Amino acid sequence: MDQGIANEARLIGEVIDRNKPRLIDEWVAELTAYIRPQRGLSDNDLREQCAEFLQLLREAMGRGDLRNPSGAGWESVEDFVANLSRTRSQQGFSPTETAVFVFGLKKPLFRMLMEHGNTSPNLNHQIVLTSEFLDKLGLMTTECYQKAREEVISRQQQEMLELSTPVVKLWHGILALPLIGTLDSERTQIVMEQLLQRIVETGSDVAIIDITGVPTVDTLVAQHLLKTVTAARLMGADCIISGIRPQIAQTIVHLGVALGDVTTKSSLADAFAIALARRNYVISKRNATAQPAPNGASQH
Amino acid sequence: MERIPILRMRDLLLVTIQVDMHDRLAMTLQDDLTSAITKYSSRGVLIDISSLAIVDSFIGRMLANISAMAQVLDAKTVVVGMQPSVAITLVELGMSLQGVRTALNVDKGMELLRSILGEPPADDDTPDAGSQE
Amino acid sequence: MPALKSKSVPLKTETDVVQARQQVRAWATEAKFSLVDQTKLVTAASELARNTIIYGGGGEMRMELLQEGVRMGVRLHFIDRGPGIPDIDKALQDGYTTGSGLGLGLGGAKRLSNEFDIRSKPGEGTTIMIGRWK
């Protein structure tokens, strides 16, 4: 940092040091004008945050280049801003309510610079410098806020996907995956991966994919279904697709999706019966008039 | 030189692939297996790939080749333990592994081999085994 | 877009294919890809690495770890100075079901990746790029 800038930084720093309490008072007043009371941020909390920021700012002004608040020497300020923005975002503050933390410092600081330097030929320069570095820091809050938002959305999407389709065990070695709702490509893929994983975990030979609750099936989804069946076969298990409604059957034919030798059934019940037969189970009905056999078994 | 060990269990051969194989190792396995089938007059081969995180087209072809060669020598092959991500990738890759029998795990693989070889099922009381309950 | 990091892995002998797989696996893990996505990337890399060695006369795999917003990505460039591929379109389709040699690897690698680019000039060599993003 060249000597001229270093001087300005020193002067601005002195103004901050000499007026810290008043600076914080006026700054907090600016902030409370913008931040809604229901945010639950007390006056004291705000003061502490402002004080900490000023402290870090003073240290950075000594170490780094005032013109480059994302450069060397400003790391602690950057971290503070990033954490503050993230927390604000998580607490439901709006982008303005977040950015105002930095921008709210401008008016009070300019006022003080003008009071102390109204005869200084460099006053304009100091104000411009201050404005520039505060602008950059203010924009940083917006960037961090945005990033935090994106992380939340991403996490929520993941959770929704995981919760929305459980794989159930119908019987020993037979799993069912009841799909409900519209299937998009991403959701279908994730759900299919979960199914294959459960097949391995439970050692189930047969998986029934029931699409009764799926209103429409497009080519992509049909292809994913088929890929899943193929993958399951490669692993040594088999899939039956059930719950195919007449409209879906028509769509599948119109789209020219080749089901090949994949077993399909219109109802889950029929699919279950087939699955049981494949695993060599026989269901027989106990004779109503006969006594139950001593060992209670009517199975083979 | 490194080789993948082949275990002999009566008339069956058992291979567990646990290393990330380079091509030459895969070719060696092919050779070793065909030699062993001949030497021991084995009737079945079980290949456990549950530790293989990657099966690319070369390894896929190796498995198909082993299956075909074993068949020529009148032995049946079952590949077991394919991981879901491997299966999904093979489907995307377009490898159908035609002619290769698969099962979910060693137990089911053994069961499958026995049924193919025409032997009676093992007497086994685990509920998921199949016909007993 | 600037890479977070990049690395070059030589592809000369068949053991280098295993090395390439392991490196790609490590970076795919770092980019926090799901297991399936990792497997797809590593398998595609395995195919292309092998092609580089067998058909390209050897070369290198250049790896890049990238970030765009919250998403991380891995790009792999397979470079050789070999004979080049005379008919790229055919190479992408060929051998799709027969599972023989060059064709399956190339088309397969493309299907397994989010990004795919191929440049090849007979007599000059080939560069194939595949990329996967989280």
Of A196, A236, A280, which has the smallest distance from its Cβ to B103's Cβ?
A236
Handedness of CA A34, A35, A38, A44 (dihedral sign): negative
- Residue C98 has a pLDDT of 36
Residue C5 has phi, psi (to 5 degrees) of: -160, 160
In a domain, A288, yes or no: no
The answer to whether C6 and C63 are in contact (CB under 8 A) is yes
The answer to whether C114 and B92 are in contact (CB under 8 A) is no
Question: Chain B residues within 8 A (CB-CB) of chain A?
Answer: 80, 82-85, 87-88, 90-92, 96-97, 102-105, 107-109, 112, 127-128, 130-131, 133
Longest dimension (CA), chain C: 41
Which two three-digit tokens encode residue B60?
């896929």
**Residue among A282, A270, A279 nearest A173 (CA):** A279
Query: Helices A123-164 and A3-18 meet at what angle, rounded to 10?
Result: 80
Bridge partners for B48 per DSSP: B16, B80
Q: What does the CA dihedral A173, A179, A184, A188 come to, rounded to 10 degrees? A: -10
Which residue of chain C comes nearest to A151, CA vs CA? C70
Contact A150 C36 (CB under 8 A): no
User: What is the domain-level CATH number for residue C29?
Assistant: 3.30.565.10
As separate numbers, helices (DSSP H) first and strands (DSSP E) second, chain B gives 4, 5
Number of independent structural domains in chain C:
1
3-state secondary structure of A185: helix
A182 and A266 part of one domain: yes
Of A205, A233, A236, which has the smallest distance from its Cβ to B80's Cβ?
A236
Chain B contact present for A171, CB below 8 A: no
Q: Which amino acid is at C112?
A: L
Sheet of B6-9, strands arranged across: B6-9, B12-16, B44-48, B76-80, B101-103
Report the distance separating Cα C134 and Cα C130, nearest Å.
14
User: What is the domain-level CATH number for residue A28?
Assistant: 1.10.490.130
Round the CA-based radius of gyration of chain B to a whole number and report it. 15
**Residue among A249, A272, A273, A267 nearest A259 (CA):** A249
User: What is the domain-level CATH number for residue A203?
Assistant: 3.30.750.24
- Residue C105 has a pLDDT of 75
B92-105 per-position pLDDT tens digit: 888 888 889 999 99
User: Residues of B15-47 as b/e, b for ≥16 C-beta within 10 angstroms?
Assistant: bbbeebbbbebbeebbebbbebbeeeebbbbbb
Contact C99 B54 (CB under 8 A): no
Which residues on B lie below 8 Å from A236 (Cβ)?
A: 80, 82, 102-104, 108-109, 112
Q: How far is A239 from chain B (nearest CA, A)?
A: 13
Residue A89 has phi, psi (to 5 degrees) of: -60, -45
In a domain, A207, yes or no: yes
**Residue among C126, C88, C121, C122 nearest C107 (CA):** C88
Which two three-digit tokens encode residue B21?
């194989």
CATH number of B6-117: 3.30.750.24
Chain C contact present for B68, CB below 8 A: no
pLDDT in tens, chain B (133 residues): 688 999 999 999 999 999 888 889 999 999 999 999 999 999 999 999 999 999 998 999 999 999 999 999 999 999 999 999 999 999 988 888 888 999 999 999 999 999 999 876 665 545 544 443 3
Report the distance separating Cα B86 and Cα B53, nearest Å.
7
Q: Exposed, middle or buried, A140 (CB in 10 Å: 0-12/13-18/19+)?
A: buried
DSSP string across B47-106: EE-TT-S---HHHHHHHHHHHHHHHHTT-EEEEE---HHHHHHHHHHT---TT-EEESSH
Handedness of CA C41, C42, C44, C48 (dihedral sign): positive
Pair type for strands B6-9 and B12-16? antiparallel
Contact B91 A203 (CB under 8 A): no
Report the distance separating Cα A96 and Cα A241, nearest Å.
51
Chain C contact present for B51, CB below 8 A: no
What distance lies between CA A2 and its chain's CA centroid? 44
Number of neighbours of residue A169 by Cβ within 10 angstroms: 12
Chain B contact present for A277, CB below 8 A: no
Domain containing A255 equals 168-278
- Residue C96 has a pLDDT of 44
In the DSSP assignment, the letter for residue B120 is P
Last residue of a domain, one of A125, A157, A189: A157
Of C34, C36, C70, which has the smallest distance from its Cβ to A154's Cβ?
C70
**Residue among C133, C9, C132, C3 nearest C66 (CA):** C3
Contact C69 A147 (CB under 8 A): yes
Report the distance separating Cα A19 and Cα C94, nearest Å.
77
Of C34, C36, C70, which has the smallest distance from its Cβ to A150's Cβ?
C70
Last residue of a domain, one of A127, A157, A187: A157
C61-74 per-position pLDDT tens digit: 999 999 988 789 99
- Residue C50 has a pLDDT of 93
Of B102, B107, B112, which has the smallest distance from its Cβ to A235's Cβ?
B102
A115 and A177 part of one domain: no
Contact B94 C47 (CB under 8 A): no
- Please state the pTM of the whole predicted model: 0.70
Q: How far is B93 from chain A (nearest CA, A)?
A: 11
Domain containing C43 equals 5-133
List chain C residues with pLDDT less than 70: 94-104
Report mean pLDDT in 10-residue bins for chain A, 300 residues.
Answer: 78 88 92 84 89 92 86 90 91 90 93 80 85 93 91 81 79 92 80 92 94 84 88 94 88 78 88 92 82 53
Which residues on C lie below 8 Å from A151 (Cβ)?
A: 70
The answer to whether B41 and B11 are in contact (CB under 8 A) is yes
Q: How far is C66 from chain B (nearest CA, A)?
A: 23
Number of independent structural domains in chain A:
2
